[in-house]
Amino acid sequence: MESSVNIITEADETEVLLNRYKAIRNTSLSLCLHLAPEDYVVQSMPDVSPVKWHLAHTTWFFERFVLEPYDKGYSRFDDQYHYLFNSYYYTAGQMHPRPQRGLLTRPLVEDIRRYRRHVDDAIIGLLNEIRDSAGIITTIEIGLNHEQQHQELMLTDIKHVFSCNPMMLVVNPDVLTSPAVSATSHRFIAGGHGVQEFGASGQGFCFDNELPQHPALLHEHSIGSRLITNSEYLDFIRDGGYQTCELWLSDGWAVVQERGWNRPLYWSEDKQSEFTLGGQRALDPAAPVAHVSLYEADAFARWSGARLPTEFEWEAAASKVGVNGNFMESKYWHPVASEHNQFFGDVWEWTSSPYAAYPGFKPLDGSLGEYNGKFMCNQLTVRGGSCITAADHIRVSYRSFFYPDARWQFLGIRLAKDGMP
């Protein structure tokens, strides 16, 4: 099958990978600087994992898929960790149930830090020894991208945990406040049409779900020039959007009634403020709306006389602009108003496309084949990254996926329409 990363054979390129390994692993720890040990353990709902678990699981990944196969002299830090910190790799063994991760008061946070140091020392030693093993380097690169995914999950998960505390806690006091920028006027711009190529070219790193590059037909359409803002979503709410069943998909209407939704997750009841990673802050009318489900995004689109774009319509439009935007490194850690089109960063954008295999898709060999392919059922594709995605982690072909009722991630809305504007 086509490799998901270029083969690195030169010593200086291995040094680049070594430095990248150290930087990404250190970033995970830096995200926890303002947390107390008690914060690392809480699991506020089944979709959320404790911070401690994320730190351990990303370490387990390197231990299980790099060190154990390639370093014959490696000794496991603790055999019990193989069960505790496996996530969903059944071909690698059994795992502790996901909804019960918050019950693991032991091992201690300091034990996990020692585990990370143990594995890091072994990985660095292995990288210093090898110079031409494509298998090792490919797997390490997958592990680094996997850790960057979990860095984003660490922040969204601890945000949900802190939001459940009436003390209005702050995850990180150093995050910046939104800039004083007005949103540009929203308009629909002509999208490409005809047969075009989509997916990753196979040059440079990509996940297997971005392959193979393949042709797809785009019909005439137009796509929103920017993301939908808090102010525009407020108009939907004030117009009775959550009370108008005709706007909603059947499953969505059932969820709204069952869970009592009447505003995005983290908005205050009076809709004047929202909970952020920097604490409770005034709602910025010009910033992109975030933490809405696919059901809410779809209902808003219907209310607007529009629809959600397909993932290929999104990719065709995004490929015309550079991969830049409000990412983790911007230090806002929240969507902000912008004069640009915001195809990248700020919020993951819901598409109407089911998360499914591309024609000719082949999962990676071995246990890593469980990474993406087995989740291609009952989920929707999202594109573009968010305000807490690492800037060097995202690309035009990048695909992520969530169940349609998910709201705890930074999920937002871009509109599309059939026909030209």
- Of the candidates 303, 5, 30, the one whose C-alpha atom is nearest the C-alpha of residue 140 is 5
Looking at residue 340, its pLDDT comes to 86
The reply to whether 198 and 295 lie within a common domain is yes
The reply to whether 154 and 272 lie within a common domain is no
**Which domain-ending residue is among 163, 196, 225?**
163
The reply to whether 262 and 395 lie within a common domain is yes
**Which domain-ending residue is among 129, 163, 197?**
163
- Of the candidates 380, 360, 400, the one whose C-alpha atom is nearest the C-alpha of residue 207 is 400
Domain count, the chain: 2
Looking at residue 10, its pLDDT comes to 53
The reply to whether 144 and 262 lie within a common domain is no
The reply to whether 144 and 97 lie within a common domain is yes
Domain at 214, CATH number = 3.90.1580.10
Looking at residue 411, its pLDDT comes to 98
Domain at 58, CATH number = 1.20.120
**Which residue positions in the chain have pLDDT lower than 70?**
1-11, 131-132
DSSP, residue by residue, 111-150: HHHHHHHHHHHHHHHHHHH-SS-HHHHHHHHHHHHHHHHH
**Which domain-ending residue is among 97, 130, 163?**
163
The answer to whether the pTM exceeds 0.85 is yes
The reply to whether 197 and 51 lie within a common domain is no
DSSP, residue by residue, 241-287: GGG-GGGS-HHHHHHHHHHT--S-TTB-TTSSEEEETTEEEE--TTS
Looking at residue 11, its pLDDT comes to 64
The reply to whether 395 and 286 lie within a common domain is yes
188-190 and 221-224 strand pairing: antiparallel
Looking at residue 104, its pLDDT comes to 97
Looking at residue 318, its pLDDT comes to 97
DSSP, residue by residue, 14-76: HHHHHHHHHHHHHHHHHTTTT--GGGGT---STT---HHHHHHHHHHHHIIIIIHHH-TT---
The reply to whether 80 and 200 lie within a common domain is no
Residue 266, domain member (yes or no): yes
- Look up the domain containing 94 and give its range: 11-163
